Structure 1
Amino acid sequence: MGDKHKIRFEPVGIDIEADEDETILDAAFRQGVMLMHGCKEGQCSACKSFLLEGDLQMDRYSTFALADYESEEGFVLLCRGHAYSDVEIELTNYDEDMIRSGLPVVTAGTTVDSITELTHDISLVRLKVDEDAGIRFHPGQYVDIKIPGTDEHRSFSMANVTVADGILEFIIKRYPGGKFSALLEGSLSAGDPLEVTGPYGTFTLRVSSDRRLVFVGGGAGMSPILALLRQMAESGNEREVVYYYGARTERDLFHLDEMAELARQLPKFRFVPCLSDTAPEGWPGDGEGETGLVTQVLERREDDIAECDVYLCGPPPMIDAALPLLESLGVPSDQVFYDKFTITAAAED
């Protein structure tokens, strides 16, 4: 362990302590301070902040996340930064309510409870948490699951609202050759141990807002959005909400019964499945449904989206298409929240 130093975050006036051997972001996680973040590996720019004072040195990072000229001006990535003196940092991207509601990040043991196929390439994975684990999370957050036999991990969002019943529930897309997801094809089974670390993420429902909600997801991106919908149903939330879910074909749709049940519990909720490939004859039958990319449907149907809170979760191409679209439609950036899945190895969600 190295020396410890005080870190002060402005303009929120929060102090933490960081060891020289840990990143500032990890130190914040350890102490229950949930700063804005994304990849945690210096590849995005979600944790970019400005160094006001002190000696901060960074591990290697991508210049796509922090350009050389930004570094020269004093910007830093908290996921790469180590403090070698007391440091004062100005947060440039933050949600004070989220920061102060953070939960300490812990590493916990779990065992596989069940693995169930939802579609031809998506699984429902339930992990039973060890009794002494002490892990908690807010709906919409994620954990890192350690890949057995390696030092690597993959990040997955929980679909459930709480760990009160001792279960973590995940919706995971299976990729051929995926370092973790391929294990769901038969290598993992009930009773196998898995280590998880979390919670991470700021993809949580801002309960202080009463704006109409627009959820946009695709594939396994349903997981954290389902957690938010379940949270709304449990709490009796009366906000108007529509969920546009993108899939290629009808066989890629799942949890339709739960969507119908949520619509019964939430009278102002609508679920709109969007098929990007040719829709089957008679689509969508008696229910709501659209054809085209989910972002195209969003643009067609949402005339007043600038007055909404928009939550996006799915693969990078969907997020990359949605963000500039929302900007062009006049949605303020502080009303847009997204969880951008990253693809690793042969393509892993």
Structure 2
Amino acid sequence: MADNHRINFEPVDIEMDVGEQENILDAAFRQGIHLMHGCREGRCSACKSYVLDGDIQMENYSTFACNDAEVEEGFVLLCRSHAFSDCTIELLNFDEDELLRGIAIQDVRTEVVAIEPVTKDIVSLRLRPVEPATYEFRSGQYSDLRIPGTEEHRSFSMATTPSTSEHVEFLIKKYPGGRFAGLLEDGISVGDEMSLTGPYGSFTLKEGHVLPLVFIGGGAGMAPILSLLRHMSETGNTRRVHFYYGARTPQDLFYLDEILDIGAQLTGFEFVACLSESMDPQQIPGSITVEEGNVTDVVRRREPGIGKTEVYLCGPPPMVDAALELLEAGGTPKDQIFYDKFTSPAFDR
């Protein structure tokens, strides 16, 4: 049996145990310690930290996330790191209020209760927890869904909130040739079992924060934003919310009625559909505000004070990258920007 070691995190003075066979990030998840993370594949650098003392070795990581010079200095990616002694690690990115509010990772056996298309290439998949009968998570987080009969998984954000205990909804984009797209076409049916692991991610509303909110989404990035909106409605949150959703055509818009119904219960809510290819007004309900152009171009026009807001981003990687450039140019501090960086092959999220 592999040895266990003690990890001390600085400057937050939190300790935990880790086995040599598990990476440090997974060990933290197991113990309900909410370390900053993104792709969990050694590609995005969100979990980059500095080893002050101890023997840590990394495996299977991208040098774009942690280059050779950084590794020589002592930087590591916690999602790829294994400890072979007691260690002291300096966290470079962390939210002290969030660290000990994490929910321990759960393995849940679920039953498929609905598979319904909401656009030509986005499907609503609803799963009912069976064992255990409840799934604990925070609005805005994501889960790993295992592809039946394999050890592979894909990561998808929840669109529901924890209060919807009878099922968990995922909004999944079908990419041509994708493994999960094939499942949604003819690989799984209502009544089938599916394994779920989670929750992951830090795309959650921060308690005690008061700045106005700007949500920017596209494609299946609707899911965690819808979860946040549902949560705000359920909890009576009074922060001002503007939601910009990017799509190509009116046929790519969905859940409009629910978004407007939720918005009627929120403070200063505005929803703007941003269409990059077609603006046919006859295909769009008159109650929906529509702007022409890419979502980031619309946000640039309509949010001159975006530097004084908190911004939540979720969508295809090119959209997220363009939005990050916009926010940097607009002077939005990095600690006011929240997103989960999705990487291939989990482009299905």
TM range (shorter): over 0.9
Matched residue, 1:257: 257
Q: CA deviation at 1:284?
A: 7.1
* Distance in 1, Cα, partners of 2:223 & 2:153: 18
1:293 matched residue in structure 2: 294
TM-score, normalised on structure 1?
A: 0.96
Q: How many Å apart are 1:253 and its aligned residue?
A: 0.1
SS at structure 2 position matched to 1:15: strand
Letter of the 2:313 counterpart? L
User: Any stretches of 5+ residues in structure 2 without a counterpart?
Assistant: none
Q: Distance in 2 between matches of 1:4 and 1:155?
A: 29
Paired position in structure 1 for 2:155: 155
Partner of 2:205: 205
Distance 2:82 2:342 in 1: 26
Please name the residue that 2:348 is paired with. Answer: 348
Query: CA separation of 1:134/1:284 partners in 2, compared to 1, >3 Å: closer, same or farther?
Result: closer
Q: How does 1:91-102 map to 2 (within 5 A)?
A: 91-102=91-102
Q: Give 1:173-212 correspondences, 5 Å limit.
A: 173-212=173-212
* CA distance in 2 between partners of 1:135 and 1:116 (Å): 22
Opposite residue 294 of structure 2, the aligned amino acid is: L
Distance 1:117 1:143, change over 3 A: same
Residue in 1 aligned with 2:106? 106
Alpha-carbon distance between aligned partners in 1 of 2:148 and 2:131, rounded to the nearest angstrom: 21
Please state if 1:314 is matched with 2:306: no
Task: Confirm or deny: 8 A CA contact 1:315 1:340 kept in the other structure.
Answer: no
Task: Give 1:158-173 correspondences, 5 Å limit.
Answer: 158-162=158-162, 165-173=165-173
**Does 2:65 align with 1:65?**
yes
Structure 1 match to 2:77: 77
Distance 2:162 2:19 in 1: 31
1:135 shift after superposition: 3.1
8 Å Cα contact 1:113-1:190 kept in structure 2: yes
- TM norm structure 2: 0.96
Whole-Å separation in 2 of the counterparts to 1:217 and 1:178? 22
Residues 84-137 of structure 1 show CA distances to partners (whole Å, capped at 9, x for unaligned) of 110110000111122111010021111101111101111111001014255310
Q: Which residue identity lines up with residue 177 of structure 1 in the other structure?
A: G
Distance in 2 of aligned mates of 1:278 and 1:4: 58
Measured on the aligned residues, the alpha-carbon RMSD in Å equals 1.4
Q: Give deviations 1:135-185, integer Å, cap 9, x for gaps.
A: 310000111000011111000011111065231111111122111122111
Q: Which amino acid aligns with 1:96?
A: E
Residue identity in the other structure for 1:303: P
SS in structure 1 opposite 2:71? Answer: helix
Kindly provide the amino acid, as one letter, of the partner of residue 336 in structure 1. I
Q: Give the Cα–Cα distance (whole angstroms) in 2 for the partners of residues 78 and 340 of structure 1.
A: 16
Partner of 1:335: 336
Distance (Å, rounded) in 1 between the aligned partners of 2:14 and 2:219: 37
Residue 326 of structure 1 is matched in structure 2 by 327
Residue by residue over 1:208-233, the C-alpha shift from the partner in whole angstroms, topping out at 9 and shown as x without a partner, is: 11000000000000100101000000
Corresponding position of 2:26: 26
The answer to whether the 8 A contact 1:25-1:35 is kept is: yes
CA distance in 2, matches of 1:206, 1:252: 30
Distance 1:182 1:276 in 2: 28
Deviation, 1:281, is: 4.2
Q: Which amino acid aligns with 1:322?
A: A
Moved more, 280-289 or 145-154: 280-289
Task: Give the superposition deviation at 1:343.
Answer: 3.5
**Structure 1 gap ranges (5+):** none
Cα distance, 1:268 vs. partner? 1.8
1:171-205: CA deviation from partner (whole Å, max 9, x where unpaired): 11112211112211122111111101111000000
Could you say if the C-alpha distance between residues 48 and 164 of structure 1 is closer, same or farther in structure 2, counting changes exceeding 3 Å?
Answer: same
Distance in 2 between the 1:192 and 1:60 partners? Answer: 34
Which whole-Å CA distance do the structure 1 matches of 2:120 and 2:47 have between them? 36
Pairwise CA distance, 1:11: 1.0
Confirm or deny: 8 A CA contact 1:106 1:134 kept in the other structure: no
Cα pair 2:247 2:253 within 8 Å, conserved: yes
